[in-house]
Structure 1
Amino acid sequence: MTMAEGRPAACTAGLGPHGERAVGSDLVMMPAETRRAARARGFEVAVLLHTCSSDWSRRQIAGIEAGLAEAGARISEIVDCNFSPLAQTQAIDRLIAARPDAVIAIPVGGSAVAEAFRRLAAAGIRLVLLDNVPPGLLPERDYASAVSCDNFRLGQIAAELLSPHVRTGGRVCVAAYTVDFFATAQREIAFDKWMRRERPDIRLDHLKFEAPGRAGEAVAAYLAREPDLDGIFIVWDEPAVAALPVLAACEKPPALTTVDLGAAAAAALGENRILRGVAAQQPFAQGLAAAAAAVLALAGLDVPSWIVVPGLAVTAENVSSAYSTVGGGSDAAKLI
């Protein structure tokens, strides 16, 4: 199995949360008449994120802002939920009272926030979800669309990039998030399936971390029990970067792959010592698609329920150009 590095995945590998086949983000276009009508109405859209501190979030916000601006709409506020279901629930209840025209949100969990999002939809506020759909929420009834990267494909890419660095009969560990989160679960499942199919010689283990900043602790505890590790996949870049010092302290550091190409991950990938590959999302493009979906829904037009942006395979050889791509072309001068 081979793949062109730095190019979008050739096809969508994963299905949506209700088994939907994906529509590519390039097909979610705002007709000129829709943009004109939207400009006359001046829509306001609130953005509700798990965190605002990551490079992924900043690029996502930039894409949303750019997409809304095309239709004369604006972001009314940005809420950082700090990975807290309680904070997100409280923010949703406040937004119901504030009544923006639409909300673009990444749910920070599953059932813990599902009822709050149902209340938002019942209040007549159009909802576009990013990456994660809490259980029980249905398209058209509860949300207009879910916009995501192809997380299943990202897991496959991460496995393929790690495989050449793992000896025959070696050991690989998957470090996954404890929270019920569709996107990271898809990556984990896809990584496992690829490895079991393409590298059945590998012994595959798993560990969980409770918060991104605590991933290093979880990895250190695992390595204390199982020091002979060839490779590790950590399901996104923030916990991967948090675990890098632990991996670097190993006498023979295991090879690492992850998802997302933030600045710290890009710098580590450029060193080509521990981090050997990144399956990169395109958050700016995802933000553009989410903005378009919100405006189309507010205009009363049909919106695909599952919109997917392809991932990129990134190594040390193409990290600079890929870093620019995932930032919407605005990040090239900021890398290393």
Structure 2
Amino acid sequence: MPVSSLARPLVAGLGPHGERPASPELLRPSADMLERARERAFHVAIVLHTTASDWAQRQIAGIKAGLEQAGAVVVDIVDCGYDAATQIAAIERLVQSKPDAVISIPVGSTAVAAAFRKLAVAGIKLVLLDNAPSGLLQETDYVSVISSDNFGLGQIAASLISPHIRQNGTVCVVAYNVDFFATAQREIAFGKWMRHERPDITLTQLKFDVPANAGGAVGPYLDANPDLDGMFVVWDEPAVASLPVFSGRSRIPVMTTVDLGSAIAEALLEGTIVKGVAAQRPFEQGEIAATAAIVGLTGNAVPPWIVLPGVAVTSGNVAEVYEHVGGAPSFYSADDTRG
């Protein structure tokens, strides 16, 4: 059974088209489905915004594990480097090579939409992670969106930073400068929670373009706002990239973020800057995406938006949660006894 701190809360958000969340438990492939899938030995490609992050590596591992149960194989893994042109080129190449399915997280909502639409035209099943490109329709263009509860993650991050912010303090939301549904939901939820629970806090916003260079935006902002109390960074890669610019300052703001990669877990355990993390469940999300692909490939219906709740992480439970969502592969071995 899951450890106590990983009990699943209710999902707070809605999907990219306003869909109500469906539980992963609804995806239970039958023995007949799995037998048919093994007979066909499906080929699946993975196209991610990045493969460099801990989140991405756990996602890939989960996808592979889920596909293996159905006798399917991964034939391609593409790292798009957060670049829309690279992703468009990858999708167009896959349209020609024709795997049975593609599992992908779109780099943005609009720039890549036309390319993704070509997959369905070519007879390739598409399973999306977190985001549906603008204009794409479930059943017509894609099987399902498999997502974390990004609205809930924003709420978690707000609740974790709140106790560390003084009355009438200021918190900056460090946002991704791309039209991306998942991060936008986190920002909206963070602001809504603060307005409701901590209306005394002033919220400001700062945007970055490239995650690895987020410190280049955060550093000058801290110089101009030396009395800042806190920052919410929309995921851990830009958060980690920003940490070096905090050093040497007379007053250091606290931070919360989303995703529990190894570097941010270490910073949370150390506790000087990072005070909380809203963790996704990337391995499980990958397993569910793989299952959705198999269910769709065998001609069965899949809910349009399948969602995993986030986990609130503090220095007190970081080791326990890290093992679950981003750590030891042995946690996900065949003799695992999760409920």
> Shorter-chain-normalised TM-score: which range?
over 0.9
Aligned-pair CA distance for 1:310: 1.2
Match of 1:228 in 2: 227
Give the residue type in structure 2 aligned to 1:41: R
Match of 1:128 in 2: 127
Match of 2:334 in 1: none
**2:147 is equivalent to residue 148 of structure 1:** yes
Report if aligned partners of 1:285, 1:328 keep a CA contact under 8 Å in 2: no
Aligned-pair CA distance for 1:246: 1.2
**2:197 is equivalent to residue 190 of structure 1:** no
More deviation in 153-162 or 318-327?
318-327
Match of 1:12 in 2: 11
Q: Secondary structure at the match of 2:111?
A: helix
Q: Which runs of 5+ in 1 are unaligned?
A: none
**2:160 is equivalent to residue 161 of structure 1:** yes
Q: CA separation in 2, counterparts of 1:279 and 1:178?
A: 20
Report if aligned partners of 1:25, 1:307 keep a CA contact under 8 Å in 2: yes
Match of 2:248 in 1: 249
**2:32 is equivalent to residue 37 of structure 1:** no
More deviation in 150-159 or 222-231?
222-231
Aligned-pair CA distance for 1:248: 2.8
Q: CA separation in 2, counterparts of 1:8 and 1:16?
A: 22
Q: Secondary structure at the match of 1:180?
A: coil
Q: TM-score, normalised by structure 2?
A: 0.95
Give the residue type in structure 1 aligned to 2:146: V
Q: Secondary structure at the match of 1:23?
A: coil
**2:57 is equivalent to residue 58 of structure 1:** yes
Q: After the TM superposition, which residues 1-336 of structure 1 pair with which residues of structure 2 at under 5 Å, given as runs?
A: 6-327=5-326, 330=329
Q: TM-score, normalised by structure 1?
A: 0.96
CA shift in 2, pair 1:5/1:191, >3 Å: farther
Aligned-pair CA distance for 1:5: 8.7
Q: CA separation in 2, counterparts of 1:6 and 1:191?
A: 22
Q: CA separation in 2, counterparts of 1:25 and 1:237?
A: 25
Q: CA separation in 2, counterparts of 1:328 and 1:28?
A: 25
Question: How large is the Cα RMSD of the aligned pairs?
Answer: 1.4
Q: Which runs of 5+ in 2 are unaligned?
A: 332-339
Give the residue type in structure 2 aligned to 1:214: N
Give the residue type in structure 1 aligned to 2:14: L
Q: CA separation in 2, counterparts of 1:232 and 1:248?
A: 15
CA shift in 2, pair 1:331/1:240, >3 Å: farther
What is the percent sequence identity of the aligned residues? Answer: 59
Aligned-pair CA distance for 1:27: 2.2
Residues 8-29 of structure 1 deviation map (CA, whole Å, 9 limit, x = unaligned): 4510100001110011122212
Give the residue type in structure 2 aligned to 1:165: H
Q: Secondary structure at the match of 1:290?
A: helix
For these two proteins, the number of residue pairs brought into alignment is: 329
Q: Secondary structure at the match of 1:270?
A: helix
Q: Secondary structure at the match of 1:112?
A: coil
**TM superposition outliers: structure 1 runs of 4+ over 6 Å:** none
Give the residue type in structure 1 aligned to 2:43: E
Q: CA separation in 1, counterparts of 2:60 and 2:269?
A: 26
